[in-house]
Amino acid sequence: MRGVVMHAPGDVRVEDREDPTIVEPTDAILRLTATCICGSDLWPYRGAEPVDHQVMGHEYVGVVEAIGSDVRNVQVGDFVVGSFWASDNTCEICEAGYQAYCVHRVLMGTVGTQAEKVRVPLADGTLVATPGQPDADLIPSLLAASDVLGTGWFAAVAAEAGPGRTVAVVGDGAVGLLAVLAAKQLGAERIIAMSRHADRQALAREFGATDVVEERGDAGVARIKELTGGLGAHSVVEAVGTQESMMQAIRSTRPGGHVGFVGVSHDVSLPGEEMFGAGIHLHGGPAPVRRFLPELVRLIWDREIDPGKVFDLTLPLEDAAAGYEAMDQRRATKVLLTL
């Protein structure tokens, strides 16, 4: 089969790779319908994380082609969505809703879903089947549920977005935009998108943003304070992962408020004295997408949300390298790869 391999920073190739096979009786093999490139794939692409001939991709939707002898919850022929962490969904950590920390977890990035087929470990716990074969126009949204929507949703939940709350979102990438959508679905009263790109501002407004703030850093914080009677937002989503964005999120939050952070932290250090003084709640990390998948699939299936709109470039898998380049150069927010 064909699949993406990142040889080195900036060097993405589509190559022949071995077809996956059932290894464990709890595995499933999927023939993928679509996959995509994640903002976090840009960290190794830009040399900010080590990379050496690594298979890539952790987002996926597709049709079950084979199942191991212990798999019960999905059947051959089912159309399925899964999280970027495979999880048993039965351990104590999973039952508490933290499937990204399942005691048996497997990172799908190590399997590499930018490919024609993929082996999904712990298929019963990981995969959620749609009610039937989806219409083609639903594919991007179902694919988004696999990570970028699930991550934005978790960020909004971690920030305790909800009725009566003002939610600010730091970061206008796909995750930030979908955190806006999530905050809207969760009933937030006011949603402030922090963005300086006209196209992303427009999508943020479409997803439910009531205000847009273009300022960053301290000026961004001052603007959020201005918009919230000097107090700061109740809920702030951090979806970037830098020192500046993290401090911007923390400082934009009122005492007693909540920061949900999902940007993969790089060279971030949180000053203890400021954290002590801030009085905020901080929660985040890799999203336990599986917790939210059944509800997200239902919302998409019923056409109540359209998160697939974050994909603004669609390419065949063979052109993955061009997709990485477009995201790296910010010509695209999120690239869908077709198969």
Query: Which residue ranges make up the site for a copy of itself (CB under 8 A)?
Result: 92-93, 96-98, 100-101, 103, 229-231, 241, 243, 246, 254-256, 261, 264-273, 275-286, 288
Q: Is the Cβ of residue 281 or residue 298 nearer to a copy of itself in the bound state?
A: 281
Name the residue nearer to a copy of itself (CB basis): 98 or 324: 98
What minimum distance in Å lies between the beta carbon of 265 and a copy of itself? Answer: 3
Strands 166-170 and 190-194: parallel
Separation of CA 241 from chain center: 13
Listed residue (125, 48, 39, 41) closest to 85, CA to CA: 125
Closer to a copy of itself by CB, 119 or 258: give it: 258
Rounded Cα–Cα distance for residues 339 and 334 (Å): 17
| Closest distance to a copy of itself from the beta carbon of 279 (Å) | 4
Q: Closest distance between a copy of itself and the C-beta of residue 41, in Å?
A: 17
Minimum distance between the CB of residue 272 and a copy of itself, rounded to whole angstroms?
A: 3
In angstroms, rounded to a whole number, what is the distance separating the alpha carbons of residues 113 and 59? 6
Q: Which is nearer to a copy of itself, 118 or 262 (CB)?
A: 262
Q: How far is the CB of 7 from a copy of itself (least distance, A)?
A: 25
Distances (CA, A) of 110 to 59, 80, 107, 119, 264: 12, 19, 6, 11, 17
- Separation of alpha carbons 92 and 338, rounded Å: 37
> C-beta of 101: minimal distance to a copy of itself in Å?
3
Tell me the three state secondary structure of residue 124: helix
Q: What is the smallest separation between the CB atom of 307 and a copy of itself, expressed in angstroms?
A: 23
> 73 vs 243, which CB is nearer to a copy of itself?
243
Q: What is the DSSP letter of 223?
A: H
The residue (of 77 and 277) whose beta carbon lies closer to a copy of itself is: 277
Nearer to a copy of itself, 119 or 254 (CB): 254
Judge whether 337 and 34 are in contact, CB under 8 Å: yes
Q: Alpha-carbon distance 60 to 302, whole Å?
A: 20
Taking Cα atoms as reference points, which of 293, 256, 21, 37 lies closest to residue 151?
A: 293
Euclidean distance between CA atoms 12 and 154, whole angstroms: 30
